[in-house]
Amino acid sequence: MRSLPQLTLAVTMCLALAACNLSAPARDEPTPTPAITQILVVVTPSASPTPLSTTVIERYTVRAGDTLGGISLRYDIAIEDLMKLNGLTNPNSLKIGQVLKIPIEVPRLAPAEKLLPDSEVVYSPAYANFDVTAFAQQHNGYLATYRERVDGEWLTGPQIVQLVAERFSVGPRVLLALLEFHSGWVTNPALTPNQIAYPMGLVDKARQGLFLQASWAANRLNEGYYGKLSGTLVAYRFKDRSRARVTPTLNPGTVALHNVLALNTTWDSWQQQIGAEGFLASYRKLFGDPNALALEPLIPADLTQPTLRLPWSEGEMWYYTGGPHGGWGDFAAWAAVDFAPPDTANSCYTSKRWATAAASGKVIRAEHGRVMLSLSGSDFQGSGWTLLYLHLANAGRVNVGTIVNVGDRLGHPSCEGGSAEASHVHLARLYNGQWISADAVPFVLSGWKILSDAQEYEGKMIRGAETREASNSRDDPKNGIVADNR
């Protein structure tokens, strides 16, 4: 480390207070101006400066049962300060899904070494020829013989890893390396009961088994990846609730790995896990150099969306019920929007209306409400532009391998697949395996431009002088849109 010259710093108490006034109590009377105090700080050439503590703003999504008082106690922040920071006038006005800003004092800065390329963490073209089943059988560990019932079907261990990789659009090699690192599933045929129950190392009785554990890991990889892209993840959270600041220069792929490892351990243990003898040793044992197949940049700087139509038939009015939100799971980019047909009356009855192809392409996957439409001509979902349709009923759904033209029927809106309280279509975009948010590349359907808001599921669609607002309702002038196939 470079030695530092002697420094003389003039620091005022008023400046220090202004830098952290989020927790300063509100007062009715004027606050006296403190006297200016000059502090002489001498740093010798051999001294190693200690990183200064920094206040960062985290985002907290309100869940069922939350109160502002409970959140205040959890984070040790005065209710009045939380209300001021978030522009709240009523402490009892919280809504499920609302995102609150939370000031957190973080004393540590995480390491800055790049560990994984982005194209290895998302389900990118780097995986076009990777066969999870063949790889698992080659290593003959517990994974190769494992079976579990998922969504009513018996799947093998490799099939579960493949399914999770596809649904969350995360790299299966990273999932396999995490399995090997935490529990030896890939190469060891004889495991302990705990290794079998908690293969990703998350000891949680509600998340036992490969499918739930791998889904948790994929979700948290996406939390790190897209949190870094959007700037919403500014600090890693450790098991003991301590934090470490995300290094601003790190790539999203490395932040994703840092994040999933941090959540289930402590700072000291985490440092070992991200070191040369930790996760990377397991990865290299299985796959070699993680940069060998790197595709950089994964997303071209000048990326534009192909022409897309509204995903229902011309002349029909559907309703814009969900603004930009996660493509899959809780933490993917806000790549998806929701539309509801007019005939289901906020129920889960399968609609008689048809969801249609927003562009010409090939159906490359259809399972449990999920249809993947490749616009690039490829059979691989991580290559070029791909559209995800979710909640399409099994009855009448288009078959895998079907070549469709824009406007062709794909299936009926329902509640099948994922989590849904009323029949609708969830439409999301991917490019090279990365979820593409409405803010990253303009999301336009039949000339309607989709605009996100501060909260998930909120936002507007605009076309010329017309505006529609996302709403969980069927209000013709507010959120009804007639498809005209522009």
Judge if 55-107 and 317-482 fold alike in CATH terms: no
pLDDT > 90? residue 270: yes
pLDDT > 90? residue 437: yes
Mean pLDDT of 436-453: 97
DSSP E strands, 10-66 = 54-61
pLDDT > 80? residue 469: yes
Mean pLDDT of 432-441: 97
Q: Are 412 and 354 in contact (CB under 8 A)?
A: yes
pLDDT > 60? residue 465: yes
pLDDT > 90? residue 367: yes
Burial class (CB in 10 A: 0-12, 13-18, 19+), 137: middle
Q: Report residue 312's pLDDT band, with 50, 70 and 90 as the boundaries.
A: very high
Work out whether the CA dihedral 433, 436, 442, 448 comes out positive or negative: positive
Tell me which residue of 185, 210, 164, 182 sits closest to 279, measured CA to CA: 182
Q: What amino acid is encoded at 480 in this protein? A: G
b/e code 156-190 from CB counts within 10 Å (16+ = b):
bbbbbbbbbbbbbbbbbbbbbbbbbbbbbbbbbee
Report the topology of domain 317-482: Glucose Permease (Domain IIA) (2.70.70)
Q: Are 244 and 235 in contact (CB under 8 A)?
A: yes
Q: Which residue has the higher pLDDT, 408 or 63?
A: 408
Q: Report residue 345's pLDDT band, with 50, 70 and 90 as the boundaries.
A: confident
How many Cα atoms sit within 13 Å of 201 on the Cβ side?
19
Q: Are 443 and 324 in contact (CB under 8 A)?
A: yes
pLDDT at 209: 97
Q: Report residue 470's pLDDT band, with 50, 70 and 90 as the boundaries.
A: very high
pLDDT > 60? residue 250: yes
pLDDT > 70? residue 211: yes
Kind of pairing between the strands at 425-431 and 336-340? antiparallel
Phi-psi region of 243 (alpha: psi -120 to 50; beta: other; left: phi over 0): beta
pLDDT at 252: 98
Domain boundaries, the chain: 1-49, 55-107, 118-287, 317-482
pLDDT at 410: 98
Mean pLDDT of 17-46: 33
Kind of pairing between the strands at 370-374 and 385-390? antiparallel
φ and ψ at residue 407, rounded to 5 degrees: 90, -10
pLDDT > 90? residue 26: no
Q: Which residue has the higher pLDDT, 357 or 106?
A: 357
Q: Report residue 77's pLDDT band, with 50, 70 and 90 as the boundaries.
A: confident
% of the chain at pLDDT higher than 90: 79
pLDDT at 326: 96
Q: Are 227 and 251 in contact (CB under 8 A)?
A: no
Out of 15-29, 269-283, 356-370, which region has the weakest mean confidence (pLDDT)? 15-29
Mean pLDDT of 424-452: 98
pLDDT > 90? residue 1: no
Q: Which 3 state secondary structure label does DSSP give 15?
A: helix
The 8-class DSSP code of residue 150 comes to E
Mean pLDDT of 28-39: 33
Give me the chain's average pLDDT, please: 89
Report the topology of domain 55-107: Membrane-bound Lytic Murein Transglycosylase D; Chain A (3.10.350)
Work out whether the CA dihedral 239, 241, 246, 251 comes out positive or negative: positive
pLDDT at 460: 98
pLDDT > 60? residue 330: yes
Mean pLDDT of 441-445: 98
At 95-146, the pLDDT tens digits run: 888 889 888 888 899 999 999 999 999 999 999 999 999 999 999 999 999 9
